[in-house]
Structure 1
Amino acid sequence: MDILMQSLRIGINDKLYIKDPESSKLGKKIVEESILLIEEVGFESFTFKKLGVRIKSNESSIYRYFENKHKLLLYLSSWYWGWVEYRMVFATNGISNPKEKLQKAIAILTQKVEEDNAFTHINEVVLHKIIINEYSKSYLVKEVSQENKEGYFVVFKRLVGRLSQMITAVDADYSYPLSLASTLLEGSLHQYFLQEHFPTLTNCNKSINPTEFFTDMIFRTLNLDLND
């Protein structure tokens, strides 16, 4: 898997950027440092001017890659979900038992993120924190319907679809596979957010992680036995 990941290129809608940041050293630097800066100051306080100072480049050079910071956040979100999708596909590809495959997928989608050395210019641990705290800001905008038509969320939707198919493979009679799949993806982020900022609102803590919670929830919903 590590060898495969090293040759992997995450496919992202080309409407999210003006110039592909993966095509140049500066572009990769923009992505790398934007992740660190957003985590440091928050998306609201993040600006291309601050990023330019950080990478020692003119603000205008960043605008050659991204139209605005909203498009940059959409790009980072798409990259993250694409990375998660590939990890899930690789991890479940050799599993023939539908229940075991679903359980593995739940683990990949909800577990604590560790840095992946296959992508040296992207810190996946920090990016995961940004997705937890900032992802909703990528779609809670007035233009979301038009952006959806433009395909900005296609990676996330594809991931929900893959998980939905795994749920259906376990229980073809279950009526809400898409709702359950999207609840897991969004809910996992929310549980990590609550654990960090509102610990009295969640049972997830140092002893109980979101993977345990969502595995239990989904298996109970589908009337599956974890020990069978």
Structure 2
Amino acid sequence: MHTLLKNLKVEINDKLYVKDPESSDLGKRILSCSIEMIYELGFEQFTFKKLGLAIKSNESSIYRYFENKHKLLLYLTSWYWSWLEYQLVLQTLTLSVPKDKLNRAVEILTQEVTQDSNFSHIDEVLLNKIIISEYSKSYLTKEVDIENKEGYFAVYKRLVLRLKDMIKEVDPAYAFPASLSSMVIQGALHQHFLKDHFTAITDCNSTTTPTSYFLNLIDQLIISNGKK
């Protein structure tokens, strides 16, 4: 598995970039520094001009890779969901008991992220924090339906469907597997955000994690009532 991960290249919709940032050192620096800057400044305050100054390159050189910062955010979020999908597939591959596979999948999709040494130019911990706070800005736009047709959210949707299939495998009679799957993935982001910013309206904290909550939810809704 370690060798497989070493050879892994996260695949991204090529419509999200002008030039593949993974193809050059400058492109990788753009990705690495943009993650740091979006985390520090927030997406609204982040600009290509600021990014150019940070990487000591002309602003125009960044436009040779990305049309605008919205496309860059879509690229980063797609990278994250693709990377998480690989974790899900690899870490559930050898599990044969449906409820064990579902529980492991929920853990992977809701837990705090740790650094992955296989991608030295991507800080997955900071990227996870960006996803928690900024992901909704990638799709709460007037162009969402057009961008959806272009396949910009395909990886995220595929991840939701993977979890949906695991839910159905445990309890084929459950009526809302897609809704539950998308709620777990999106809800995990929300609970992590509440835990850090609105502590009065969540039960998650330093000892009760979002993972604990969602494992309990899945157990109550699916596993305890499942036939397997």
Task: Give the TM-score band, short-chain normalised.
Answer: over 0.9
- Paired with 2:70 and 2:153, the residues of 1 have a C-alpha distance of 13
Q: For the Cα contact (< 8 Å) 2:17–2:67, is it kept in 1? A: yes
2:15 maps to which residue? 15
Q: Following TM superposition, by how much is the alpha carbon of 1:19 offset from its aligned partner in structure 2, in angstroms?
A: 0.2
2:38 pairs with 1:45: no
Calculate percent identity across the aligned residue pairs: 59
Normalised by the length of structure 1, the TM-score is 0.98
- Paired with 2:201 and 2:53, the residues of 1 have a C-alpha distance of 39
- Paired with 1:91 and 1:102, the residues of 2 have a C-alpha distance of 11
Question: Which AA in structure 2 matches 1:93?
Answer: L
2:146 maps to which residue? 146
After superposition, what is the alpha-carbon deviation per residue over 1:137-178, rounded to whole angstroms, capped at 9, x for unaligned? 000000000000000000000000000000000000111111
1:111 maps to which residue? 111
* RMSD of equivalent CA atoms: 1.3
Q: Following TM superposition, by how much is the alpha carbon of 1:113 offset from its aligned partner in structure 2, in angstroms?
A: 0.3
Q: Following TM superposition, by how much is the alpha carbon of 1:3 offset from its aligned partner in structure 2, in angstroms?
A: 2.1
Normalised by the length of structure 2, the TM-score is 0.98
1:180 maps to which residue? 180
1:90-109 mapped onto 2 (5 Å cutoff):
90-109=90-109
Question: Which AA in structure 1 matches 2:13?
Answer: N
Question: Which AA in structure 2 matches 1:77?
Answer: T
2:120 maps to which residue? 120
Q: For the Cα contact (< 8 Å) 1:80–1:128, is it kept in 2? A: yes
The DSSP-based 3-state class of the residue aligned with 1:95 is coil
**Unmatched segments (≥5 aa) in structure 2:** none
1:1-228 mapped onto 2 (5 Å cutoff):
1-224=1-224
Question: Which AA in structure 1 matches 2:50?
Answer: K
Q: For the Cα contact (< 8 Å) 2:168–2:177, is it kept in 1? A: yes
Q: Following TM superposition, by how much is the alpha carbon of 1:181 offset from its aligned partner in structure 2, in angstroms?
A: 0.4
Question: Which AA in structure 1 matches 2:68?
Answer: N
Q: Following TM superposition, by how much is the alpha carbon of 1:223 offset from its aligned partner in structure 2, in angstroms?
A: 4.8
**Unmatched segments (≥5 aa) in structure 1:** none
Q: Following TM superposition, by how much is the alpha carbon of 1:2 offset from its aligned partner in structure 2, in angstroms?
A: 2.5
Question: Which AA in structure 1 matches 2:30?
Answer: I
Q: For the Cα contact (< 8 Å) 1:2–1:118, is it kept in 2? A: no
Question: Which AA in structure 1 matches 2:39?
Answer: E
After superposition, what is the alpha-carbon deviation per residue over 1:15-37, rounded to whole angstroms, capped at 9, x for unaligned? 00000000000000000000000
- Paired with 2:131 and 2:97, the residues of 1 have a C-alpha distance of 31
Q: Following TM superposition, by how much is the alpha carbon of 1:4 offset from its aligned partner in structure 2, in angstroms?
A: 1.5
Q: For the Cα contact (< 8 Å) 2:170–2:223, is it kept in 1? A: no
